[in-house]
Amino acid sequence: MQSRPIALTILDILSVISIGVATYFALVFAPTELFMGQVQRVFYFHVGTAWVGMLGFILAAVAGVIYLINKDMKWDRFEVAAVEISTMFFFITIVLGSIWARPAWNTWWTWDPRLTTAAITELIYIAYFMLRAGIEDPEKRARFGAVYTLLGGISVPITFMAIRLFRTIHPVVVGNESAAAEGGFSMTGDMVTAMLVAFAAFTIIFIDLLWHRIRIGGLQEKVEQLKLKISM
Amino acid sequence: MESIPDTSGYMIAGYVIAFLTMGIHVLSLYIRNKNLRRDLEMLESLDTEKK
């Protein structure tokens, strides 16, 4: 049976440490924002999870392209893993954004370009699993999945650019924000540090979870092959 | 001077949901891995018996 690589165990330990460090930087190290108060602290996990969410969707699209070229199932496993982990992280991004919006915008949700494109992106990747669940043939499932992630990947740059291209109330962290933006704040040096720590921590956790999920995909494939072999 | 608004309840809710979501996902990975390993072991022993 496949034993767990030492590097993966080290990555597990690093992930636990990094989530602890990121939480400390977000909740203790970063100063309290004067206009919004403590709720601004969700910002660090909001941007950290958004980063790995979008990264995973892009990686899934790249894996989809590689699969379509060489038809190697390991890229299908990578693609599924990346989509699953990113869908989970992007869900956290949307929920944290909504929680922040309540005191900042006085509403849980508004159909602003950024919020709408983010919600559409999340729904696209939830539908990806529904599509895969409906196809029994592994090769057909992988092919359809690859094309889907390739097309779905287009929603990522649209979501990222929405606050830079359209008139939106969502604040912009990097670059110029829309005149209609509400709830923006000037980041102090310590806030930038906390944000960068969150980026690093979520990247480590993302790689760790991705590796675990890819290994589960490999096990699933082995089980399916053995079932087929025994039934014949 | 205006005082800082008390929005700590929202912050706590945000972090609870974030950790809960990640925790559920990690638990789901652990359970899937455990079940698949059990299935694999069983199928391998069946395959050996068949031979």
ipTM comes to: 0.90
Note the pLDDT of residue A180.
62
Contacts of A45 in chain B (CB under 8 A): 14-15, 18
Q: What is the DSSP string of A47-92?
A: HHHHHHHHHHHHHHHHHHHHHHHH--HHHHHHHHHHHHHHHHHHHH
Which residue in chain A is spatially nearest to B39 when comparing CA positions?
A223
Of A1, A35, A45, the CB nearest to B18: A45
- Tens of pLDDT, residue by residue, chain A (232 residues): 567 899 999 999 999 999 999 999 999 999 998 888 999 999 999 999 999 999 999 999 999 999 999 999 999 999 999 999 999 999 999 999 999 999 999 999 999 999 999 999 999 999 999 999 999 899 999 999 999 999 999 999 999 998 888 888 888 876 666 556 676 677 889 999 999 999 999 999 999 999 999 999 999 999 999 998 888 7
SS3 label, residue A33: strand
Angle at A107 between CA B14 and CA A198, to 5 degrees: 30
Residues A168 and A162 sit within 8 Å (Cβ to Cβ): yes
Residue of chain A minimizing CA distance to B50: A230
Cβ–Cβ of A32/B15 closer than 8 Å? no
CB pairs under 8 A between A and B: 96
* Contact by Cβ (8 Å): A46, A16: no
Does residue A203 sit in helix, strand or coil? helix
CB of B3 within 8 Å of a chain A CB? The answer is no
Considering CB atoms only, which of B5, B10, B37 is closest to A219? Answer: B37
**Structure confidence at residue B32 (pLDDT):** 97
Query: Chain A within 8 Å of B43 (Cβ-Cβ)?
Result: yes
